[in-house]
Amino acid sequence: MNSTDWGAYTALRRDLHRHPELGFKEHRTAGIVATRLKELGYTVTEGIAGTGVVGTLKKGSSARSVGLRADMDALPIQEANAIPWASQVPNVMHACGHDGHTAILLAAADAIARQAQFDGTVHLIFQPAEELGGKGGAMRMIEEGLFERFPCDAIFALHNMPGWPQGTFLFREQVMMASSDRATITIHGQGGHGANPHRCIDPTVAAASMVLALQTIVSRNTDPRDSVVISVGKLHAGSSYNIIPATAHLELSIRCFSAQVRDELQAHISRLCHSQAESFGARAEIAYERGYPTLVNSTQETRQACEVATRLFGADRVIKQMPVLTGSKDFAYMLQERPGCYLLVGNGMTGETNTATGLSHCMVHNPGYDFNDACLPDAAAFWAALIESRLAT
């Protein structure tokens, strides 16, 4: 990777940051990706899942194949950073670093095409709409025949990770990230004047009791050895202080690491919400949506990727078995279809100042977030080395 023009890829990353696009609307980004891949000699397929792009490169005669995936979409957040490459799109920004992931994979595409020695086929998968939940880009690409059209013996992806030193590579065999489900609960009561609560069925009281009771599922219905999160992210009722509303609404985020526990949580939540509402004379209506599944890395592919990182950067920069994360990623769908590994690359310690930008590193999905461009060279070099290892001549 010594001959790579990192200034050009930093400029590319910042250009993508300046022009963020939401899920399934990544038309400009996809166009840049497709053009660059064609310039590097890849066979390019566009329009998968709307705005997805796959670049394919074959060297030698082996039937072996590997897929590398990067996500391209931004988030509906108004950027707070005063930097020259801040988002020019109101209420949209790259607050999760997908601009960095795209630039990393394009830089890796450069090295793989020009320098890497391998025998087999590489598929570079640029995915839209990672942030949209269960029906986002990964699922749609799979449904449109991703792995039938572009066979992959294994599939790999990475994500930047604030809170870890820049350039640290983090791995975990088997279960790494939680499943993510959503429950919307509507409590139907009987509205009326705030001065006459005895003539009403107050859904806000039922909702308040429900918020507290839901936490007993974690503390009393779940094995303490199983990590479970139930968060009430939204509670809404009423339109005025002196009116008892007819309905109240709750929205829940539910996360765990086991398929069995996932099923049990849905049953517990449904039963508790119905009974809590009925105890106040109200009625609960529950819409339960399954989101991303648990992300599970295959052991062999994870160990090989870890060995590549250790060889390149040294054992002191590699975490072989990081703690599980309660966050979720739709790459889990791809790992259900093919063996592979999802890994993390340290973006910098939280609160530490990025000397290139003067910004303090913060967590993703934050209006003050920016990808650390210092991650580009090592992450791209890792992808190129992984391809050489997987498809050794």
Catalytic positions, written as ranges:
73, 130
Torsion, CA 323, CA 325, CA 326, CA 328, rounded to 10: -160
User: 390: which 2 tokens?
Assistant: 């997987």
Cα–Cα–Cα angle for 332, 183, 252, nearest 5°? 90
CA quadruple 161, 164, 168, 170: dihedral sign = negative
Is residue 282 within 8 A of residue 200, CB to CB? The reply is no
Is residue 372 within 8 A of residue 348, CB to CB? The reply is yes
Instruction: Report the half-sphere exposure of 11 (CA within 13 A, side-chain side).
Output: 4
Q: Which helix (H) or strand (E) holds 248?
A: strand 247-256
Is residue 162 within 8 A of residue 347, CB to CB? The reply is yes
Q: How far apart are CA 132 and CA 22, in angstroms?
A: 9
Q: Which residues on adjacent β-strands are paired with residue 254?
A: 181, 230
Helix, strand counts (H, E) of the chain: 10, 16
DSSP codes of every residue in 34-74: HHHHHHTT-EEEEEETTTEEEEEEEESS---EEEEEEE---
Is residue 181 within 8 A of residue 262, CB to CB? The reply is yes
User: 231: which 2 tokens?
Assistant: 């968060």
Burial of 239 (0-12, 13-18, 19+ CB in 10 A): exposed
Is residue 26 within 8 A of residue 51, CB to CB? The reply is yes
